[in-house]
Amino acid sequence: MNIGQTSKRSGLPTKTIRYYEDIGLISPARGANGYRDFSDTDVHKLQFIARGRALGFSVEECRQLISLYEDQNRASESVRRIAKDHLADIKVKMAELQAMHDTLSELVTKCAGDDRPDCPILKDLAGTNKT
Amino acid sequence: MNIGQTSKRSGLPTKTIRYYEDIGLISPARGANGYRDFSDTDVHKLQFIARGRALGFSVEECRQLISLYEDQNRASESVRRIAKDHLADIKVKMAELQAMHDTLSELVTKCAGDDRPDCPILKDLAGTNKT
DNA sequence: TATAGGCCTTCCAGTTACTGGAGGGTCAAG
DNA sequence: CTTGACCCTCCAGTAACTGGAAGGCCTATA
């Protein structure tokens, strides 16, 4: 099937699919006219990648996961390791976001939000508040 | 003061400081030898940017915040708007991360993590589980 | 005075994961 | 035979740095 159809089925933009070919994640066949000709397996692989990306795995992690997926003899421990590492990253990011959120929402609450130039948000950013 | 000193005081790497000059966030003076010569105001501005970045503002948002900070006549409403928009972004990101976290941690729990090749994480990514 | 080290300078390239656009070929329908 | 929807490649740009090469400057010590 052509790239347009593949795009619809995988939910990935055509540009992204071509990019994934560029970096060697997939290697679709080519027709006589030079068009890419995707198999169901290709589509499946793209869906796999799309799912992994949606879970926040990097493209390189997806590459690892695919090769593990295609290796019948791999240990599930390898996969679990990647997932667990990733989970740890997610936890760190969530904590950081939480801290940002708390600070910012406190500042927004304190800010009058009117036409007066006195603004606690800027004061805080400038470090004027020694709290 | 030189860039090394400035780096220590602002907590930003020298590379980053030069980059900020490149994109016009700061304009430190130059000594006769061509070295950058940072004033306390420059350091203060860099600290301001560092704080903003730590709160997740983009560099462009920091640029806006700085110009608002330097404008005595700005309305605090403008600042509040930027902060509130950013707060909304943070909430979205946190919800996304939470969803990722929940899915992944469930998968990690289900995964045996041993030498057997049967792995629920990969099955999920492949969409084999029609849950 | 030579030299060693630790600064400082610029510039170029690479990172991640795409995205946009130019310029041009192909295909199916009317 | 033309029109419009596809498809192709290649180049450049995005955000926000980061790394490294090649070279200048400054200070202290032998």
pTM, two decimals, is 0.78
Q: Each residue of B72-90: pLDDT tens digit?
A: 667 778 888 888 888 888 8
| C6: residue with closest CA to C1' | B4
Contact A111, B77 (CB under 8 A): no
* H or E element, residue A36: strand A36-37
Residues in chain B: 131
B-chain CB neighbours of A79 within 8 Å are 111, 119, 121-122
Within 10 Å of residue B54's Cβ, how many Cβ atoms?
14
Query: Would you state the pLDDT for residue B75?
Result: 72
Contact B87 A105 (CB under 8 A): yes
**Side chain identity, residue B127:** G
Please give the domain boundaries of chain B with CATH numbers for all domains.
Answer: 1-74 (1.10.1660.10), 87-131 (no CATH)
Judged by a CB distance cut-off of 8 A, whether residue A130 touches chain B is no
| Residue stretches of chain A with pLDDT short of 70 | 72-74, 112-117, 125, 127-131
**Backbone φ and ψ of A128, nearest 5°:** -70, -35
Mean pLDDT value across chain B: 85
